[in-house]
Amino acid sequence: MHSVRQWLAEARSVAVLTGAGVSAESGVPTFRDANGLWKQYRVQDLATQSAFARDPKLVWEWYNWRRSVLAEVKPNPGHYALAKLEKRIPKFALITQNVDGLHELAGSRHVLRLHGSIWEVRCIACARQSVDLRVSIPDLPPICECGGLLRPAVVWFGEPLPRDVWRAAEAAVQASDLLLVIGTSAVVYPAAGLAQLAKSSGARVVEINLAKTPITSEIDEFLQGPSGELLPRLIA
């Protein structure tokens, strides 16, 4: 913890990669931990184009459930600590795999959303995208004005990340002195590859997680514990 504080104090450019774990203490279920299942489905069985093509209503029921969970939760001290850090570091990028919007609610300004937002929908026919903040979308599956099916505007397995966002994330990591990887199982690529990119660009990498992950052995420091407790201590 002491050396990470020192690195943060010296850093001119910091990148942060967050995953579902950073929102866990807000009460948002993660994807791969025991509490991550909805009914009997695994995330890999729902967050795909083929699942949506097979049963759009089922996939939307899952998103409605996630919307209802997210509508009740608030950012936690980990989110707030990252918003505070952004104000202190000259060059700062927060890269998130989360679609929940909690970083923005906590006051983070420069957020690169690799996986989109659960609060937006997109037509699979005309590609029109719009914000939809309703806690529960009625009459599933919802239909666009053009008659096409609306889907959540998030990135599913097998889909490419939004190109501009990904490029900005790569550039931020390459320019950083320090990358913090927080609350992600680091198994979903390409996001998980950002830690290797940071190392090969000469940045230090620090991981905060409850448990070790595939990248833990390759990084500079592993801080084990809940991000909602460790981040405020680190950034105080």
Binding footprint of ligand OAD on the chain (CB under 6 A): 19-21, 24-25, 30-33, 36, 43, 47, 97, 115, 155-157, 183-185, 188, 208-211, 213, 226-228
Residue nearest to ligand OAD (CB): 21
For ligand OAD, which is the closer residue by CB, 25 or 177? 25
Q: Are strands 116-123 and 221-224 parallel, antiparallel or unpaired?
A: unpaired
- Given the residues 2, 79, 103, 115, select the one marked as catalytic: 115
Least spacing, CB of residue 147 vs ligand OAD, in Å:
27
For residue 219, the minimal CB distance to ligand OAD (Å) is 14
Q: Are the C-beta atoms of 152 and 118 separated by less than 8 Å?
A: yes
Q: 50: exposed, middle or buried (C-beta count within 10 Å: 0-12, 13-18, 19+)? A: exposed
> Judged by CB, which is closer to ligand OAD: 10, or 159?
159
Q: Specify the pairing of strand 221-224 against strand 178-182.
A: unpaired
- Per DSSP bridges, beta strands 91-96 and 13-18 are parallel
3-state secondary structure of 112: strand
Which is nearer to ligand OAD, 5 or 225 (by Cβ)? 225
Q: How far is the CB of 79 from ligand OAD (least distance, A)?
A: 12
CA dist 62 to 37, 66, 84, 97, 125, Å?
A: 10, 6, 33, 18, 22
Nearest-approach distance from CB 90 to ligand OAD, in angstroms? 27
The residue behind tokens 């909805």 is 38
**Tell me, what DSSP letter sits at residue 193?**
G
Distance CA 116, CA 226 (A): 25
Examine the residue annotation and report whether 115 is marked as an active-site residue of this protein.
yes
The residues annotated with a catalytic role in the active site are 115
